[in-house]
Amino acid sequence: MESPITSAVVLIGGLGTRLRPLTYQRPKALLPLLNRPLIAYEIELFARHGVTDLVMAVAYGAEAIRAELGDGGRWGVRLHYVEEKERLDTAGAIRNAAHLLDGPFFACNGDLVYDVDLGAMARAHLDTGALVTFCLRAVEDISAYGLIQCDEAGRVTAFKEKVAYDETGRNTVNSGFYAMGPEVLEAIPENVAYSNERQLFPGLLEAGRPLYGWVAPPDVYWSDVGRIETYLQTHAALLGGA
């Protein structure tokens, strides 16, 4: 389904420490996954849903990333680059791209292999009038993830990091993929390190801003390629037709 939101910020500035030694010589976004750069899978996801203006938030390995990805023409998208001069963390990196954003946008971590319907997520975001919509996954074991609890209408009621039990029974965790209204940029200080998970999202919830969860269908493939184990698992899954 084509998305009514056509811009995104992709966070690919991290050092990739959990993937060392693979990331000593190249940034995580360019690690080969079935002979293609890891970040190509997200770019292709956006392209399939008509999200054509992508801001690549870069830092470590910025020049190598620019040289490899270019202007995005091979995928039918337009790639723009913003580089951090100092570490800005996740929300700070999004704020650093504010001058390239006009209207609602997606934001995501750059180490995901995901097959979510961005059109359906974008429509849910716009229909609820959310400031932030979180793409959630229901999992059996929530202990390794950030739990996001919502009420019956889908409005976020709590963020809980790496707990063993969800009293709501929904077991919905943060996938690292968001739809955001442009007003969210006003809540992020400029040119300072600021975290989505530790500062921005809890602050917005405390302020009573409209945050909603959208739960991806259970058959959607998702992998966070942030560790050696998941890097290998993702190769195996894709080779198996995931």
DSSP 8-state symbol, 190: T
Q: pLDDT tens across 162-190, in order?
A: 788 888 878 888 888 999 999 999 999 99
Q: pLDDT tens across 109-121, in order?
A: 888 888 899 999 9
Query: Which of 53-67, 120-134, 160-174 comes out lowest in average pLDDT?
Result: 160-174
Model confidence band, residue 242 (pLDDT cutoffs 50, 70, 90): low
For 181-229, strand residue ranges (E) read: 211-215, 222-224
Let me know: does 175 contact 136? Beta carbons within 8 Å.
yes
Looking at residue 121, its pLDDT comes to 95
User: How far is residue 226's CA from residue 150's CA, in Å, rounded to a whole number?
Assistant: 26
162 is catalytic: yes
Q: Region of 191 please: left (phi>0), alpha (psi -120 to 50) or beta.
A: left
User: How far is residue 87's CA from residue 192's CA, in Å, rounded to a whole number?
Assistant: 8
CA–chain centroid gap for 53, Å, is 15
- Has residue 92 got a pLDDT over 80? yes
Contacts of 104 (CB under 8 A, 6+ apart): 5, 7, 122, 125, 126, 179, 180, 181, 182
Model confidence band, residue 161 (pLDDT cutoffs 50, 70, 90): confident
pTM metric for this prediction = 0.90
Q: pLDDT tens across 7-20, in order?
A: 999 999 887 778 78
Mean per-residue pLDDT for 95-101? 95
Catalytic residue, candidates 28, 85, 160, 162 = 162
Query: What is the dihedral sign for C-alpha 91, 37, 145, 173?
Result: positive
